Amino acid sequence: MSFLPLALFGTLGPGELLVIFAILLLIFGSSKLPQLGSALGKTIRGFKEEMRQEAEGPSKAPPSENAFGFCPKCGAPRPDAEAAFCPKCGQKLA
């Protein structure tokens, strides 16, 4: 029987996670697994979310319906960047 190489933890795939899960099962026993699993799930979800945001880049803002500004007269949201007049009150838009 050989020890798992420490490098294994640098490249976590589904198989490695399964191995770690099996080890945790041996260590903690089945009674604590539900709470352990939920904690682990939250950690992984948070990690994936961070990875996703990192990949998209911090400068990219999510598209918003208010991205084109508002009518200066009535405050209605501008429907698109090409709109010359407010659809609500007819105010000419800059």
Please choose, out of 13-21, 40-48, 55-63, 85-93, the segment that lies near Zn ion by the rule CB under 5 A. 85-93
* Residue 69 touches Zn ion, criterion: CB under 5 A: no
Closest C-alpha to 79, from 91, 67, 90, 89: 67
Among 4, 12, 51, 74, binds Zn ion (CB under 5 A): 74
Cβ 71 vs Cβ 79: under 8 Å:
no
Q: What's the token pair of residue 11?
A: 């490249």
**Residue 79: DSSP 8-state:** S
What's phi and psi for 90, nearest 5 deg? 85, 5
Please choose, out of 5-13, 17-25, 52-60, 69-77, the segment that lies near Zn ion by the rule CB under 5 A. 69-77
Among 32, 42, 88, 92, binds Zn ion (CB under 5 A): 88
Please choose, out of 10-18, 36-44, 54-62, 66-74, the segment that lies near Zn ion by the rule CB under 5 A. 66-74
